[in-house]
């Protein structure tokens, strides 16, 4: 059982992390593309049509890979996690079904209309299609997060004993499930993270072309839009993340305590910058921190008390029975710092990009060219932050798969041989590696050039740089 549980968790982690690489860009990029096409409809400037088509092509590549990797997720619920599916199917299945039948249906339908509707639909109707894609992409995320939020914070349910004596959770209030306080804090964080991802994606590729001095009209405008979105979104994601963390401190204090490696209840708790974590003995061997800052950030009060891991463990034993209710503190602590560190660098780079974007005269030399070269690899920063942020959300819930209702070890399938899980784990990992290589090659190929048909309308303005 232990090996099967470990293998099943690894398989789900690998497939989920890989799938989530595509999700934030799918949420944020169509919004930016819709803004570009709206500008084209309003002005008739062919530059904005070129921008829309260029970024739209990269969006389609990302969307297709995201769909392909997402399909695997649902099969795992029935194969590796049949205990979870049996116990939670009545609740978890509802938002997933709505996501597939409503949000994803709208998204995929209007993507098709948008792709094949150029010069066939009136401009305003065609532009409306990409706005509907942007809306549906984010609506899809809402339903997925509603399902996930129930796992983090169960609401609107009742436990029913079946004829065979086994218990299962059934939905008692659909309205409570969709207005879960957890999702009301979680979705704004994911939404702004999606905008950050899209903005840095556009910044990085635009900077590549500007550093080379090519296709300037398209990529100066793309860079300017991305810089504005980047500074707004990077500050917003930090702000809503702070609010979400305060919510966790009140409702899920173990997750916050693990993120900060805080072992004892502490008034005026410090914000740890570094900690040598000894989870076996429930302590930190070394610690460097900012005095009282954790208390202030958690409760807006420098002297307030923050609950510690050891005290919460005792409380949960009394509430839920014997067991270890402490997540992996080392992973939580450093994942949080990687996420925050990547976010802080993004704020700085977004500010610098904004200053460069709004200069009156184009210039690609000196420090500006250095910034352009930095922004290309900086495209990885939001992906880094997104990945570790999602790991925090999922690892911080352990040992529960549904907080307070079902432990992860009770959710795994008992009839699936370990060898089968191992084979599929290796198989999916290799398959996703191949898909990753294909995705990168396609993105690089189409990000390096603009279609020949788009160059002609710009030739007079740009001259030889379009060659």
Q: pLDDT tens digits for 293-316?
A: 888 888 888 888 888 889 999 889
Least confident of 16-30, 74-88, 116-130, 450-464: 450-464
Domain count, the chain: 1
Would residue 56 count as lying in a domain?
no
Residue 460 has pLDDT above 70, yes or no: no
Burial profile 219-258: b = 16 or more Cβ within 10 angstroms, e = fewer: bbbbbbbbbbbbbbbbbbbbebbeebbbbbbeebbbbbbb
Q: Which helix (H) or strand (E) holds 38?
A: helix 23-43
Q: How confident is residue 452, by pLDDT bands cut at 50, 70 and 90?
A: low
Would residue 52 count as lying in a domain?
no
Q: Which helix (H) or strand (E) holds 250?
A: helix 216-251
Q: How far apart are CA 406 and CA 416, in angstroms?
A: 19
Would residue 319 count as lying in a domain?
yes
Give me the mean pLDDT over the 222-236 stretch: 92
Residue 359 has pLDDT above 90, yes or no: no
Q: Which of 278, 401, 392, 294 is nearest to 338 (CA)?
A: 392
Task: Enter the DSSP assignment of 396.
Answer: T
Would residue 247 count as lying in a domain?
yes
Would residue 446 count as lying in a domain?
no
Instruction: Look up the domain containing 209 and give its range.
Output: 184-269+297-413
Residue 196 has pLDDT above 90, yes or no: yes
Give me the mean pLDDT over the 259-278 stretch: 86
Residue 456 has pLDDT above 50, yes or no: no
Q: Dihedral (C-alpha) 428, 431, 436, 439: value to the nearest 10 degrees? A: -130
Strands 406-407 and 400-402 turn out to be antiparallel
Beta strands in 129-282 (DSSP E): 157-161, 167-171, 266-267, 271-278
- Mean of the per-residue pLDDT values for the chain? 84
Q: How confident is residue 225, by pLDDT bands cut at 50, 70 and 90?
A: very high
Would residue 440 count as lying in a domain?
no
Would residue 400 count as lying in a domain?
yes
Give me the mean pLDDT over the 203-229 stretch: 86
Would residue 92 count as lying in a domain?
no
pLDDT digits (tens, 9 = 90+) for 311-331: 999 889 998 888 889 898 898
pLDDT digits (tens, 9 = 90+) for 54-106: 999 999 988 888 777 777 777 777 677 778 888 887 888 888 888 878 788 88
Task: Identify the pLDDT of residue 134.
Answer: 92
> What pTM, to 2 d.p., does this model score?
0.86
Task: Identify the pLDDT of residue 462.
Answer: 43
């Amino acid at each position: 059982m232990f090996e099967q549980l470990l293998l099943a968790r690894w398989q789900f982690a690998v497939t989920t992390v890989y799938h989530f690489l595509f999700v934030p860009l799918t949420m944020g990029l169509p919004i930016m593309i819709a803004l570009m096409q709206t500008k084209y409809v309003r002005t008739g400037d062919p530059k904005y049509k070129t921008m829309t088509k260029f970024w739209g092509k990269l969006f389609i590549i990302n969307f297709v890979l995201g769909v392909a990797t997402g399909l695997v997720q649902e099969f795992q619920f029935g194969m590796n996690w049949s205990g979870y599916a049996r116990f939670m199917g009545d609740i978890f299945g509802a938002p997933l079904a709505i996501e597939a039948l409503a949000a994803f249906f709208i998204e995929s339908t209007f993507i098709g209309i948008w792709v094949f509707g150029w010069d066939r639909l009136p401009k305003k109707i065609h532009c409306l299609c990409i706005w509907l894609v942007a809306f549906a992409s984010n609506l899809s995320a809402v339903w997925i997060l509603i399902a996930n939020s129930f796992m983090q914070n169960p609401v609107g349910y009742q436990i029913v004993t079946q004829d065979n004596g086994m218990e299962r959770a059934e939905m008692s209030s659909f309205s409570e499930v969709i207005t879960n306080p957890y999702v009301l804090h979680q979705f704004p964080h994911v939404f702004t993270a999606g905008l950050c991802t899209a903005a840095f994606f556009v910044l990085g590729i635009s900077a590549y072309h500007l550093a080379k001095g090519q296709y300037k009209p398209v990529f100066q405008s793309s860079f300017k839009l991305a810089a504005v979105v980047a500074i707004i979104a990077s500050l917003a994601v930090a702000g809503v993340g702070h609010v979400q963390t305060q919510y966790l401190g009140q409702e899920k204090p173990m997750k916050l305590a693990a993120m900060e490696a805080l072992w004892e209840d502490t008034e005026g708790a410090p914000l740890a910058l570094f900690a040598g974590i000894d989870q076996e003995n429930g302590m930190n061997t070394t610690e460097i921190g900012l005095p009282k800052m954790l208390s202030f950030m958690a409760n807006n009060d420098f002297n307030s008390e923050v609950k510690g891991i050891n005290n919460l463990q005792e409380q949960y034993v009394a509430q839920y029975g014997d067991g270890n209710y402490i997540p992996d503190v080392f992973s939580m602590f450093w994942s949080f710092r990687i996420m925050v560190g990547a976010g802080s660098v993004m704020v700085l780079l977004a500010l610098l990009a904004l200053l460069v974007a709004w200069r009156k005269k184009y210039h690609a030399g000196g420090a500006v060219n250095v910034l352009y070269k930095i922004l290309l690899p900086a495209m990885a920063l939001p992906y880094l932050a997104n990945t570790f942020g999602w790991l925090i959300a999922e690892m911080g819930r352990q040992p529960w798969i549904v907080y307070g209702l079902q432990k992860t070890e009770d959710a795994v399938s008992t009839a699936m041989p370990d060898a089968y899980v191992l084979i599929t784990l290796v198989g999916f990992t290799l398959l996703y590696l191949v898909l990753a290589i294909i995705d990168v090659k396609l993105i690089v190929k189409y990000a390096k050039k603009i279609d020949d048909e788009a160059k002609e309308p710009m030739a007079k303005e740009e001259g030889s740089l379009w060659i």
